């Protein structure tokens, strides 16, 4: 792990509520996250856990009923002056002009929401490039062609003249990535970019993101509900549940030594050759946060829940310098609980695969 790399984005104690006439939903309940230069940090959790809202807050694009109650989102600029900005306090117009889509670019699940169906992709790329930099037409065209080539689109000169509907879903997502890269961003936020694609296409997009990340030294925040995807892209993993990060660590910490029963559930839900088509899913549904859960928000779905889980919220217990989990099972007074045997079998298998892979 390159753990001495410079911090580029740091979220501290972020707390967000959504207000409507009838209720307040406490969607984000104290999130911390650090992104360092050249690294990929994943946020993983079921739908509704607060992944997108966390990143929307960082980008200043929360819907108007979303209120940031507290916290900071510090962006450490890459300019030589070493500017430091709390994106929450920053002027919205300044954010739009200087940070969002410039220093911090985003790729979302559905490429069609980011592309204009009535405009050729060449024109869309040229517009994106020209919005960042004044260039001659010829230069902008050349830059567009190079970007398309960089994201793996063959015959880019010909493809420039085509419209979004003439591309497959995977190719459209590549174009969106090309547009995101047009400002030469420092940070790339990917919010479920492969969720709408089928598995083989998904893997190719993941490979592309990894290779771009390495070539350009990008810092990436990768959001997904699928822990299987995380293994392919991330250096660090944050497992999110009901508006909190309940386990955080390196990819090895979380995949080889998971401690939170929710993480056990997510890992068990990854399709596996030996699961014989029978896919595990965590029973029940996440709480609706119109009132704060009492105790551990996961307790009602947790087969390993202790009495205290229903009464008091667990703190983040430290396991190692990189690995933390919020479960009372880590309290020294807790009874010894083994993770499910089937998961241990899977972990042994993943460890063996990783060792074989390292051997080449
Ligand atoms: N526009 C909105 N209005 C009200 N509540 C919202 C809105 N967007 C998100 N929320 C609340 O925030 C929670 C987290 O949403 P989100 O971050 O989009 O989840 P996900 O982890 O699937 O990306 C939702 O479960 C919902 O309660
Ligand atoms: Mg989302």
pLDDT tens, the chain, 360 aa long = 444 689 999 999 999 999 999 999 999 999 999 999 999 999 999 999 999 999 999 988 999 999 999 999 999 977 666 678 999 999 989 999 999 999 999 999 888 888 999 999 999 999 999 998 889 999 999 999 999 999 999 999 999 999 999 999 999 999 999 999 999 999 999 999 998 898 889 999 999 999 999 999 999 999 999 999 999 999 999 999 999 999 999 999 999 999 999 999 999 999 877 656 678 889 999 999 999 999 999 999 999 999 999 999 999 999 999 999 999 999 999 999 999 999 999 999 999 988 998 887
Find the residues whose C-beta lies inside 6 A of ligand 1. 18, 25, 27, 45, 47-53, 63, 65, 289
- Asked if 205 and 174 touch (Cβ cutoff 8 Å), the reply is yes
HSE-up (13 A, CA, CB side) for residue 227:
26
Q: State the ligand closest to the CA atom of 110.
A: 2
CA 190/CA 43 separation, integer angstroms: 10
For residue 161, the CA-to-ligand 2 centroid distance in Å is 32
CA 354/CA 252 separation, integer angstroms: 10
CA 217/CA 186 separation, integer angstroms: 8
CA 170/CA 179 separation, integer angstroms: 14
Strand partners, 84: 76
| Other beta carbons less than 10 A from residue 198's beta carbon | 10
Strand partners, 68: 16
User: Parallel, antiparallel, or unpaired for β 236-241 and 244-250?
Assistant: antiparallel
pLDDT of residue 347: 95
Q: Which two three-digit tokens encode residue 304?
A: 């390993």
Q: State the ligand closest to the CA atom of 50.
A: 1
Q: Which atom of ligand 1 is nearest to the CA of 65?
A: 3
For residue 51, the CA-to-ligand 2 centroid distance in Å is 6
pTM of the model: 0.95
Give the closest residue to 239 by CA, choosing from 46, 18, 28: 46
Q: State the ligand closest to the CA atom of 192.
A: 2
HSE-up (13 A, CA, CB side) for residue 165:
3
For residue 5, the CA-to-ligand 1 centroid distance in Å is 32
First to last CA, the chain: 19
CA 160/CA 126 separation, integer angstroms: 10
- Asked if 328 and 309 touch (Cβ cutoff 8 Å), the reply is yes
- Asked if 96 and 43 touch (Cβ cutoff 8 Å), the reply is no
Length of the chain: 360
Q: Which atom of ligand 1 is nearest to the CA of 223?
A: 23
Give the closest residue to 68 by CA, choosing from 59, 77, 81, 79: 59
* Residue 207 region by backbone torsions, left for phi larger than 0, else alpha for psi between -120 and 50, else beta: alpha
User: Parallel, antiparallel, or unpaired for β 219-224 and 40-44?
Assistant: parallel
CA 236/CA 232 separation, integer angstroms: 11
Q: At what angle do helices 121-132 and 137-150 cross, to 10 degrees?
A: 110
pLDDT of residue 159: 97
Task: Give Cα separations from 230 to 41, 190, 221 (angstroms).
Answer: 9, 12, 11
Element (DSSP H or E) covering residue 349? helix 341-359
pLDDT of residue 2: 45
pLDDT of residue 279: 80
């Amino acid at each position: 792990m390159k753990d001495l790399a410079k911090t580029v984005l740091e979220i501290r104690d972020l707390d967000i509520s959504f207000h409507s006439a009838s209720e307040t939903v406490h969607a984000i309940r104290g999130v911390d996250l650090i992104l360092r230069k050249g690294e990929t940090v994943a946020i993983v959790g079921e739908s509704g856990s607060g992944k997108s809202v966390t990143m929307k807050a960082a980008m200043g694009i929360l819907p108007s009923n979303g209120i940031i109650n507290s916290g900071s989102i510090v962006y450490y600029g890459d300019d030589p002056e070493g500017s430091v900005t709390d994106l929450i306090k920053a002027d919205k117009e300044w954010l739009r002009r200087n940070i969002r889509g410039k220093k911090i670019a985003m790729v979302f699940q559905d490429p069609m929401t980011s592309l204009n169906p009535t405009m050729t992709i060449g024109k869309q790329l040229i517009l994106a490039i020209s919005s960042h930099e004044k260039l001659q037409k010829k230069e902008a065209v050349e830059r567009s062609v190079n970007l398309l080539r960089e994201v793996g689109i063959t015959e880019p000169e010909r493809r420039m003249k085509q419209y979004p509907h003439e591309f497959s879903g995977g190719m459209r997502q590549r174009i969106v990535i090309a547009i995101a890269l047009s400002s030469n961003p420092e940070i790339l936020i990917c919010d479920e970019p492969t969720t709408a694609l089928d598995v083989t296409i998904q893997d190719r997009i993941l490979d592309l993101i990894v290779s771009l990340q390495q070539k350009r030294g990008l810092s990436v925040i990768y959001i997904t509900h699928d822990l299987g995807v995380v293994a392919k892209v991330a250096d660090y993993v944050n497992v999110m549940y009901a508006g909190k990060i309940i386990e955080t660590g390196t990819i090895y910490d979380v995949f080889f030594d998971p401690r939170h029963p929710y993480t056990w559930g997510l890992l068990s839900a990854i399709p596996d050759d030996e699961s014989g088509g029978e896919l595990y899913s965590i029973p029940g549904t996440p709480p609706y946060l119109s009132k704060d859960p009492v105790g551990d928000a996961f307790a009602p779905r947790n087969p390993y829940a202790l009495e205290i889980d229903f009464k008091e919220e667990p703190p983040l217990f430290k396991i190692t310098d990189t690995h933390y989990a919020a479960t009372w099972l880590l309290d020294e007074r807790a009874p010894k609980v083994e993770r499910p045997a089937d998961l241990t079998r899977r972990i042994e298998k993943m460890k063996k695969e990783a060792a074989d892979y390292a051997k080449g």
